[in-house]
Amino acid sequence: MKISLIGAGNVGGLTAMRLAQDNLDEIVLIDIAKGLACGKALDLEDARAALNLDYKIKGTEDFTNIKGSGIIIVTAGLARKPGMTREELLKKNAEITKCICLEIKRLAPEAIVLVVTNPLDLITYLALKNLQFNPKKVFGVGANLDASRFANLIAQELKVSPTEIEACVIGPHGEGMLPLARFTKVKNEPLTKLINSQKIQELAQKTIERGAEVVSLLGSGSAYFAPSAAITEVVSSIVKDKKRTIAVCAYLNGEYGLKDICVGVPCEIGKNGIERIIELDLNSEEKALFLKTASNLKNNLTAL
């Protein structure tokens, strides 16, 4: 399967590397910045002998190279700067996304499209409306990144391996995300049985603030190691038809009592994209918080 990455910045370039090392077929890296995608592709080619791998990768400035892609990953857009919220990125990145969607619709109408550009939930909705593809084939990657961050912080607190943790985070990829302790398990034990509610709240808040913390420390640009890993997790589940349960930004049309909105929820991911949206049995408090954060998204969609 041909996989195209639109945007060869830190996230796009590192995702290309992870996909190549996972031997995920033919990879095309595209960026309008002259020489950027080509240079990174050549560099990745030169790594093949040292890695003992024979992957195919191409770098280009020409959008027509997305033709025939099975998966298209959109990372193009401005990155957050210190003190900037994801929502402040909306206007510029919305313009960029509209232009990209026109090319995807024209050249690769059968592709599964993964959106990574921030603000994720709003840009995913915008991409879906512009593409007019099946909603199961257009979704955002971000909620599984939030879950990975939550798992990491829990692992540090409990001094266990993050591989022993199944973390659950739903809601927008941003300040409105909801880390759910009740659905998070450590060695198959609910987190609520292992840590008191105050500490859980502290870990949840740290998870919410983690992206901004990384941005402030880097000083220029945003995270890319963990985001690229989150993208690769989703792509691998599609290409290898793993049907794994992964939280992604999905279009809801009645699920969770919400309609015409894109937001992070657990989904079964396979060769067709979103195979199934999984509805968690939220309690009244969790549901109220989820509906509140969804309402805030709806208000932003009106502005969009």
Do 94 and 188 have their domain in common?
no
Do 30 and 136 have their domain in common?
yes
Specify the pLDDT at position 82: 72
Split at pLDDT 50, 70, 90, the class of 302 is confident
Which range (21-25, 57-61, 84-88, 217-221) has the least confidence?
84-88
pLDDT tens for 76-134 read 988 767 776 656 778 889 999 999 999 999 999 999 999 999 999 999 999 999 999 99
* CATH code, domain with 92: 3.40.50.720
Distance CA 265, CA 278 (A): 7
* CATH code, domain with 167: 3.90.110.10
Specify the pLDDT at position 88: 73
Say yes or no to pLDDT of 21 above 70.
yes
- Per-residue pLDDT, averaged over 48-61, amounts to 96
**What range defines the domain where residue 126 resides?**
2-140
Specify the pLDDT at position 80: 66
Do 126 and 150 have their domain in common?
no
Specify the pLDDT at position 90: 84
Do 159 and 293 have their domain in common?
yes
- Per-residue pLDDT, averaged over 30-55, amounts to 96
Specify the pLDDT at position 85: 67
Specify the pLDDT at position 87: 65
Q: Are 258 and 296 in contact (CB under 8 A)?
A: no
Specify the pLDDT at position 260: 96
- Give the 3-state secondary structure of 184-223: CEECCEEHHHCCCHHHHHHHHHHHHHHHHHHHHHHCCCCC
Mean residue pLDDT of the chain comes to: 95
Distance CA 2, CA 107 (A): 13
Do 284 and 159 have their domain in common?
yes
- Per-residue pLDDT, averaged over 58-76, amounts to 97
Q: How many domains does the chain have?
A: 2
| Percent of the chain with pLDDT strictly greater than 70 | 98
**The pair of three-digit structure tokens given for residue 28, joined into one six-digit string:** 């095309």
Do 121 and 229 have their domain in common?
no
Do 162 and 134 have their domain in common?
no
Q: Are 158 and 128 in contact (CB under 8 A)?
A: no
Specify the pLDDT at position 246: 98
Closest CA to 42 of 24, 25, 20: 20
Residue 280: Cβ within 10 Å count: 16
Closest CA to 143 of 236, 247, 244: 247
Specify the pLDDT at position 67: 97
Residue that finishes a domain, picked among 97, 115, 140:
140
Residue that finishes a domain, picked among 105, 140, 175:
140
Do 201 and 238 have their domain in common?
yes
Do 246 and 295 have their domain in common?
yes
173 annotated active-site: yes
Marked catalytic residue, from 58, 86, 173, 185: 173
Say yes or no to pLDDT of 300 above 90.
no
Please say whether the dihedral angle defined by the alpha carbons of residues 62, 19, 175 and 214, taken in this order, is positive or negative.
negative
Residue that finishes a domain, picked among 95, 116, 140:
140
Do 110 and 189 have their domain in common?
no
pLDDT tens for 230-274 read 999 999 999 999 999 999 999 999 999 999 999 999 999 999 999
Give the residue, 165 or 221, on which the prediction is more confident.
165
Do 119 and 150 have their domain in common?
no
Do 188 and 216 have their domain in common?
yes
**The pair of three-digit structure tokens given for residue 81, joined into one six-digit string:** 């700067």
- Per-residue pLDDT, averaged over 212-232, amounts to 94
